[in-house]
Amino acid sequence: MLAGAYTALVTPFADGEVDYARLAANIERQVAGGIDGVVPVGTTGESPTLSHDEHRAVIERTVAAVNRRVQVIAGTGSNSTREALSLTRHAKDAGVDVALMVNPYYNKPSQEGLYRHFMTVADAVELPICLYNIPGRTNVTMSADTVVRLYDHPNIVAIKEATGSLDLASEIASRCDIAVISGDDSLTLPLMSIGGVGVISVLSNLFPERIKALVSAGASGDAARAKQLHLELFSLCKGCLTLATNPVPIKAAMQIAGFDTGEVRLPLTDLDDAGRSQLQTLLAGALPAAV
């Protein structure tokens, strides 16, 4: 049930507040661009800086704007199991299709702690769950053994792999049938080559049509077209994750391309002049008409 190109939505801000009109406008662009689904309040959505009320409101507004035209995968993870449970229950009541649950961060649980955390939510809420393995943000990596154990639960259906390790993704894919979806734009095609089913993309905020085309080419076996798109977008994909902390570069890129989503929220700060200049060069190389 989870396959294709999904956009990890930025959260637009204006004067320090969530700009729901710009959020809806970006969702319309994604749907028009053929994207398979949208992902509010994830890493790209600056979820750590949103209040609980804002978090819930962004999910509700996203569900309303989508109006069942595409899937909604809502971020509901937390380093508190009780909070993750509360957020996932709300997401189900709001009408989302899948909950995206990141590994608990900062408190560095053991593999058994990870297992119990996700099982607690999966047992309590009748909603499909996509695990989210991103050690660069959480300082803990979910092992293949733990993923295999969790996949025994019928509500745990997918994993967003953002470890940067094709070996780990390959081990997971070789040991169970969980849907593996890329969490890094630059690794979408490599992951699809070992059985991945798509991407939750940062770059599709800017280029939904091209990310959809890449995933479609990979899924249909059009290796030449998939490789062409992968290589065309590769430098920009890397830049959006290395020039500054995500989502600083993608928000700057959207401003440059005429799709302004406002500032980032502290403690993140806007891209500096040097980074912006590099980003303009990368944008020109990927799609000259966007600059």
Residue positions annotated with a catalytic role: 132, 160
Contact 18, 11 (CB under 8 A): yes
Q: 10 Å Cβ neighbour count for 153? A: 15
Contact 206, 287 (CB under 8 A): no
35 to 19, 30, 45, 71: CA distances (angstroms): 22, 6, 17, 9
Residue-by-residue DSSP string for 137-203: HHS----HHHHHHHHTSTTEEEEEE-SS-HHHHHHHHHH--PEEEESSGGGHHHHHHTT--EEEESG
Contact 21, 197 (CB under 8 A): no
